Amino acid sequence: MQEKCFLFQNKNICYNVSGSGQPVILLHGFGEDGMVWQSQIEFLQNNFKLVMPDIPGSGQSEFVPNATIETYAEVIKELIEIEIQKEKGEVVLIGHSMGGYVTLAFAEKYPRYLKSFGLFHSSAFADPEEKISTRKKAINFIKENGAFNFLKTSTPGLFTQRYKDQHPEKVEALIEAGKQFSPEALIQYYEAMIARPDRTHVLTSFNKPVLFLIGEHDQAIPFESSMRQCYLPAQSHVNILRESAHMGMWEETEKSNTILLDFLSVQ
């Protein structure tokens, strides 16, 4: 795996590249970095060129002030033009959670770059009022208690109780990785998610394949909400992870990997 960086608004944006073949960008979510995909990288790298960016303020990427979901989509465009566009091929973009919001913003503005895209525990709907209220409470908690203290309390809720009981060390590892985050970064992510518009029209207008991976026990992106968007694309590939909450790439690694391989292989 090779780590690379480029400048965006005079800030270093870093990403990892592994494998060769059809280019696939795996875009992480809130409170994560590109290494959340480690098991998928190991499984897919012999068949595809995998590109795993760190969203600004995550991992090795520097914080970009005043960024929005649309800003992060511009980061992905820059990445594609630097790392992939020279190869003249279309890319598949798979976004987890907040990464899915970025994926939709990118698909809205730059559909020509995409061979297909996928939403992994993510949604095209705008935040309802209840969700906005929850996010605002989280912002206040971060301001008062710091980023790491917030992630210590919030991260366990991303997993099923069964997974937490069976793999406490993995949940703890994700929490520990949260020490990298500044309060400013997490607050910016929340503000960006609150401000994002409904993008269900992107699902309706996109005429290429769209992948959905849905956690039956997901509290962050409720199952019912996820299912309501699945009929919108012309080519919809719907997969339900029955033993997962919001971290199916960890909770049901083998099944998630197989779903991704099957989807990517028919592109």
Residues 127-153: tens digit of each pLDDT: 999 999 999 999 999 999 999 999 999
Mean pLDDT of 250-255: 98
Q: What's the CA gap between 98 and 100, in Å, rounded?
A: 5
Give the pLDDT of residue 87: 58
pLDDT tens, residue by residue, 42-90: 999 999 999 999 999 999 999 999 999 999 999 999 999 999 876 567 9
Confidence at 208, pLDDT banded by 50, 70, 90: very high
Domains, the chain, in order of start with CATH, read 2-125+197-265 (3.40.50.1820)
Give pLDDT, residue 266.
Answer: 83
**Do strands 48-53 and 11-18 pair parallel, antiparallel, or not at all (unpaired)?**
antiparallel
Helix residue spans in the chain (DSSP H):
38-44, 69-83, 98-109, 129-145, 147-154, 161-166, 168-177, 183-195, 200-205, 223-229, 248-251, 253-265
∠ at Cα 130 (56, 70), nearest 5°? 25
Q: Percentage of the chain with pLDDT > 70?
A: 99
Token pair for 168: 């406490």
pLDDT digits (tens, 9 = 90+) for 180-202: 999 999 999 999 999 999 999 99
| Residue 216 pLDDT | 98
SS3 label, residue 176: helix
